[in-house]
Amino acid sequence: VEHDLSVLDYLSDFICVLYGTPGAYGVVTMPFGVREGINIFLDGFVPTENLRFREQVLTFKVSETAEKEEEHIKRDARYQYPDMIKDYGPFKLEVMKGDFTDSEIVVMLGENGTGKTTFIKMLAGITKPTTTCEELPRLNVSTSLRRSAPSSRVL
């Protein structure tokens, strides 16, 4: 849920909260600002309608201290990648070294042509960086393309 909400926050300007009972009824609220809409969804309560649509509040585990969490992530980091550069004529992708673990979900969002696929292909060993100072790790990366398609036609 956390990563879905992050993407929702990044991509949306307004949110309508939908609630109801499957097979019985459904209600769509008026649009809310993204952060307000996310909080309404998490709280299970629509203040403008004075309506509770879920008894339990959704919460996330929050680290007691950011330093301890960062130490834990660094200690358990399983994959590391070095600084890399890939030149494609006028396009140049510069990647700063980083790391991640199996338990992390990393989302890359950006406009077309900003290097998301090139970065993944470099991590997978499919595309070689133009320059790097270190050996790249051997990662298994799924590179199958998935395209979004509309579920219905609008005339």
Q: Of 46, 51, 44, which Cα lies nearest the Cα of 30?
A: 46
Q: Quick one: pLDDT at residue 45?
A: 93
Q: Quick one: pLDDT at residue 60?
A: 72
Higher pLDDT, 13 or 104: 13
Query: Per-residue confidence at 122, pLDDT binned at 50, 70, 90?
Result: confident
- Stated pTM of the model: 0.47
Output the 3-class SS for 46-102: ECCCCEECCCCCCCCCCCCCHHHHHHHHHHHCCEEECCEEEEECCEEEEECCEEECC
Q: Quick one: pLDDT at residue 47?
A: 93
What are 60-79's pLDDT values in tens digits? 766 555 555 555 555 555 77
Angstrom distance (rounded) from CA 113 to CA 73: 31
Q: What is the mean pLDDT of the chain?
A: 77
What are 21-47's pLDDT values in tens digits? 877 878 888 899 988 988 898 899 999
